[in-house]
Structure 1
Amino acid sequence: MRFPSLVRGTLLERYKRFLARVCLDDGTQVTASVLNPGRMTGGDDGELERGYAVPNRSIVYLVAVRLEARTKHPYRWVLATEPWTGALVCVHTLVANQVIREALETRSAYLMEAIGEALANDETSDTIEPMTYCTLERERRFPLSSTNGKRSRQRAASNGTQSHAIRPSSRCDFCLDQRVFIEVKSVTMCGSRQGLVLFPDAVSSRATRHLHDLAAIAQERTPSETALGRQQRQALVIFVVQRSDPPQALSPAETIDPAFAMAMRHAARCGVRFLCHWLRPSIRAVDATQSSWAGELSWTPVLGPETKPPGCVSPRRSIPVFLSQEAAAQYLQSMDRAS
């Protein structure tokens, strides 16, 4: 994905959650819309000074909004530098969803192989088949018939998990062949200089609900579908890291949103699969005066360790995903000792 014409400035303040006041390089002060509901913080505890929305310190890049877009504000904030690490971060959270959609529509070999490995029953097999599908749906409603029934609640109790009733309005980002339900999450928070990234950077009841919905899908076993020879429904979460510094591991931000961390562990027990990929942002000056800039986000393939680390729930074609910050920290420490 490209942003061919950006202007640069310094963040003065972020206010009302979805607005930012910016001083452009030429001294003009403008208001930009912010398509990011998070806190834009960093560090283990979500500190403002370790994030990428630090007043008078964060350098930001804005894209001009088209006149026909019917918006009150002429600019949209898309990229920012993080003073703590110097990393470039994509602020626009909807970019992750757009890039995954394009990769699914074009059947990107990299993504198809990763999804195939994530959904495989035996990840250690030498013959992992790439994901293939016929139909792709966006904003697909979750099925309700058997997931909310008595049989599902009894099965959840026998497995030591909790049953969750899917709301009629619940939807997933993408659905493949009416059986693989995919949710995409944009990751921008840096947890440590060792390459730990965390999600979410603010309490997100919506993200927690999405995990419970996917868990209900993943633990479903419908006798009628088995009798008809239909394949079991599967659920997948794809985390997309939108930072320029190399991510080494991902975990839930337990101190910021413990409910999400618990939901993620519950989802893993129910059979939800996880992937984490790197969408690397970059920026360059278009002219010698540096009055115009061009930004780009590109897929950067990542392979995890050959042997799955303790606590890791992702396949090898993924940045390692852990269910706790402690497990992720231990993995990164072992990486440091090995190097």
Structure 2
Amino acid sequence: MQFNKPLEVGTLRQRYKRFLADIEFANQPQSIETVHCPNTGAMTGCAEPGYKVWCSVSDNPKRKYAKTWELAQNFADEWIVINTQRANQVAGEALAHGVIPELNDFTVWQAEQRYGEQNSRIDWLGQSTEGRQCYVEVKSVTLVEQQCGYFPDTVSARAIKHVQELEYMRAQGHRAVMLYVCMHSGADQIKPAAHIDPKYANACIKAAKNGVEFYALNTEISEQGIRANGVLPIVLGDE
């Protein structure tokens, strides 16, 4: 995906109240502006004061905060995608362009479809020419420790629910996929975060044994855009 307009660059001063961040923009030095932070997670390692950041600007006059925090660069010069909504866009493009060879049987992809026992909404639903269906749940990975990306970055009952919904769809005879989109340039593999949410990690192990597929996308991140450029290995359990 490409950003529609050039992003504005600045320096992060603080992130607070989950949805807000104060940024000093390069074109307005000594002036702090509040922007929308589209990330409800813990954002561990993603929001340190002093990080270089990039924001998109909305033309909607009704918005309280015109700017949205999109990207950050940490003190190791690693890129991080802050806007979690970008993960679905990147995943959709990757699925359409066959970045994950195991899913190339599915030629039509629809976003945000209702499914499952709990009336959830799947991120991407694939259809094959033979009429098979593939349910893909997308997760944005930004927590990186020692070059390993972890999900989730906080305890998440909702994330466990999504794993269980995929397991149910697999039991109905469909393909079911958990797709992690690594939105951090410092990771070379992905793991469920057992040290943060062991119940989620155990749910993933159980789902994999029951046929749920796990894949991870590596991404190329810049102020021009974000694109999947391959896959990363996934480690489930202690293997």
- The two structures have a TM-score, normalised by structure 2, of 0.89
Task: Return the offset for 1:141.
Answer: 2.0
> Higher helix proportion, which one?
1
Task: Return the offset for 1:206.
Answer: 1.4
Residues of 2 paired with 1:252 and 1:99: CA distance? 20
Residue of structure 2 in register with 1:313 after alignment? none
Residue of structure 1 in register with 2:46 after alignment? 52
Contact 1:12 1:20 in 2 (8 A): yes
Q: State the SS of the aligned residue for 2:222.
A: strand
Contact 2:13 2:24 in 1 (8 A): yes
Residue of structure 1 in register with 2:185 after alignment? 244
Residues of 2 paired with 1:30 and 1:279: CA distance? 29
CA displacement, residues 63-83 of structure 1 (integer Å, 9 cap, x when unaligned): 112225x32102100011122
Contact 1:78 1:91 in 2 (8 A): yes
Q: State the SS of the aligned residue for 1:110.
A: coil
> Higher strand proportion, which one?
2
Q: State the SS of the aligned residue for 2:168.
A: helix
Contact 2:90 2:226 in 1 (8 A): no
Residue 28 (str. 1) matches residue 31 (str. 2): yes
Residue of structure 1 in register with 2:142 after alignment? 188
Residue 132 (str. 1) matches residue 112 (str. 2): no
Task: Return the offset for 1:235.
Answer: 0.3
Q: State the SS of the aligned residue for 1:175.
A: strand
Contact 2:13 2:23 in 1 (8 A): yes
Residue of structure 2 in register with 1:256 after alignment? 196
Map 1:5-44; keep pairs closer than 5 Å: 5-25=6-26, 26-41=29-44
Contact 2:46 2:142 in 1 (8 A): no
Residue of structure 1 in register with 2:158 after alignment? 206
Residue of structure 1 in register with 2:80 after alignment? 89
Among residues 121, 125, 132, which one is paired with 1:175 in the alignment?
A: 125
**What amino acid does structure 1 have at the position aligned with 2:8?**
V
Residue of structure 2 in register with 1:109 after alignment? 98
Contact 1:244 1:282 in 2 (8 A): no
Task: Return the offset for 1:274.
Answer: 0.8
Among residues 52, 60, 73, which one is paired with 1:67 in the alignment?
A: 60
Q: State the SS of the aligned residue for 1:5.
A: coil
Residues of 2 paired with 1:248 and 1:273: CA distance? 19
Among residues 71, 80, 101, which one is paired with 1:79 in the alignment?
A: 71
Q: State the SS of the aligned residue for 1:37.
A: coil
**What amino acid does structure 2 have at the position aligned with 1:240?**
V
**What amino acid does structure 2 have at the position aligned with 1:298?**
R
Task: Return the offset for 1:280.
Answer: 1.6
Q: State the SS of the aligned residue for 2:225.
A: strand
Residues of 1 paired with 2:106 and 2:148: CA distance? 32
Identical residues among aligned pairs (%)? 31
Q: Which runs of 5+ in 1 are unaligned?
A: 42-50, 116-129, 144-165, 221-231, 284-294, 302-317, 328-339
Residue 323 (str. 1) matches residue 199 (str. 2): no
Residues of 2 paired with 1:90 and 1:203: CA distance? 21
Residue 100 (str. 1) matches residue 113 (str. 2): no
Cα 1:103–1:322 shift into 2, 3 Å: closer
Among residues 201, 223, 227, which one is paired with 1:298 in the alignment?
A: 227
CA displacement, residues 217-237 of structure 1 (integer Å, 9 cap, x when unaligned): 1133xxxxxxxxxxx311011
Residues of 2 paired with 1:212 and 1:81: CA distance? 34
Contact 1:31 1:74 in 2 (8 A): no
Contact 2:99 2:229 in 1 (8 A): no
Contact 2:122 2:135 in 1 (8 A): yes
- The two structures have a TM-score, normalised by structure 1, of 0.64
